[in-house]
Structure 1
Amino acid sequence: MDKLQTPHSAYHWAGETDRFFEGWYYRVTLPEINQTFAFMYSIDDPAGGTAYSGGAAQILGPDDRYFWRTFPKVKGFWADYQRLGLGHWQKRPLGSFPRQLTPNQFNQQIEEGYQATATLNQGKLHDPTTGETVSWEYEIQPIYGWGDPNRPQKATAGWLSFLPLFEPGWQILIAHGRATGYIQWQGKTYQFTNAPAYSEKNWGRAFPAKWFWLNCNAFIDEPDLALTAGGGRREVLGLGEEVALICFHYQGKFYEFVPWHAEVSWEIQPWGEWKMTAIGAELKAEIVGQTDREGTLLRAPTETGLEFCCRDTMQGQVDLKLSNRSGEMIFEASSQNCGLEVGGIPWSGSWRNSS
């Protein structure tokens, strides 16, 4: 996995006491039943002592059903400063300190919590209000990080993301992988082998005003295709700018349409339709995401902690086209297992722009 480890995979918090958050997203798709599980982990103000200090785990399950659990004690959280690795325990076993455990140790010693790395996602949560319990354990075989798999991996926001200029930061960790294991959800056990897997993260001290996102790595008859696209309004040295990208991996190659070497334009409705076009030096990419589902409200980081400020579905329709600039089609693909999201300040009418 080391050769596929992306920049920014490690934990970013450096011990400051000012406002800070870091969040991680893991997903596994089960195309044969047209369902997806998305796991969202987060930590706010890890130094402790503020109204927002603490962690959370959210799960978006089959048919976009929602589960969440808070972890008020920041001292139950751990994260790796060298590579992708994190976890949070609701209660600490006597004489122990939060750290990565083997899957067997975790199952035997931890009553409630989670742990996740580049090759594992494991946890068990219990909602005392409803009595619902969720547990999961699956191994991940990474296929694509972010970039050409035979070269050093790339920062999603480019080399300037290594400087404290952009807030928040965003990094795709595993654009495409294969997951094997199980998820127990609402009294049913889902077992899977080599299911499409994905992970990303964000972090920072400022929070996006609004954003949109499309992601899919379960295309019909295209098991090696993985798409991530999105955009938003972020801060650069305290000033706002709107940016977007379309990127995908396909048959061992990375196709990157980003503002520093392509023109990316978009037209996003408040909900229901996502249209993006990117024109590079030689190629043109077009994607259209659509859904007639209502979507599910999720919590996302804000200046006042996690708030219901984004809407998602994991059962969106997406169509992707790649052509040369003269219009000759190179390939096209579609899926009904696309993740679609809008977030931040609600907007009325279509959001149109280019970067």
Structure 2
Amino acid sequence: MVLHKFMVRTGRTRVYFGPESMSELNEWIKNFDRVFIITGKKSAKITGALDDVLSILSNHNIKYELFDKVFPNPTASLVNEASEHAWRFGADAVIAIGGGSVIDTAKLVSIIVKCGGRAEDYVRSVRKAFDSIPLAAINLTHGTGSEVDRYAVVTIEETHEKVGVASEYMYPSISIDEPKYLTTLPRNQTVYTALDAFYHAIESATSNASSPYTLMLSEEAVRLIVKWLPIALNEPKNIEARYWLLYASMIAGISIDHGRTHIVHAVEHALSGLKPRLAHGAGLAIIGPQAIKYIYESVPDRMYRLLRHIDPELEPKSEHADKAAKAITKFQQSIGFSEKLRDYGFRK
């Protein structure tokens, strides 16, 4: 099957999707002189994405500084540290190379460099962003959707709060969704990130802000995840599987940008705020089935549209809520996910 390269516009972002999408960075990058690169400790190097970006910068004789300290569930102090480095460097653009934690960090950095203040100011709504320096998001997971939305999530260490912030100025200028970078994604991250996208779809289709548009995007995302996630787990280098999981993640990200998340993400943020080593996708999957039972009872018509791809015997009736929850649990177990909150130190 031909895997198409294409561009879509969403929010303020131009998203370049598919094979060889990284080449599109060339046109964007030539407008800048000093670029601040934000990554985690490993994935940008392992995937080859960092080398590709540095090659492009070299070709255009652009100066850069690398900040490679981002960790999962980034903290306000980490964002503040990165922002100070970017400001002292005199960055006129930011490139994020990584998953949601890296991209969320970069979003806040792009605002702070332009508008001043600290991460806590924006999380607490003490300050409101009025602009940002341009941001390119090189996405390395098929889960968070951060490359296509206006949200960022950060943990306040002192209170253990994991808090989201939204701003029109946090949309990346451009985003790169290049499936080849996902073939080195570890098995557990393949599961966690795909389930993150799965719950984005579930929640954005069933929130008070949902619409026929978000339901359409969400149904397609669920269908693709159910079909392609088992294949990606059995064949990690299968580029077609990675392509469609990445596509599912992108459209689920667009869906939450319009329809938002609700109960599953809200509870997970509280949990991983307390226990930062709890991976976001894992937390969602642990609490998800029980939450889905209540969501299905409330909006069976919409949930049926989504979950019939997991269990064709479901019906759009509230009395099928328990059956739906069991179907989700069975699906998660079929892809090797059986983690519990106690595995992360939670007790009753």
- TM-score class, shorter-chain normalisation, is under 0.3
With normalisation by structure 1, the TM-score equals 0.27
Q: Which has the higher helix share?
A: 2
With normalisation by structure 2, the TM-score equals 0.27
Q: Which has the higher strand share?
A: 1
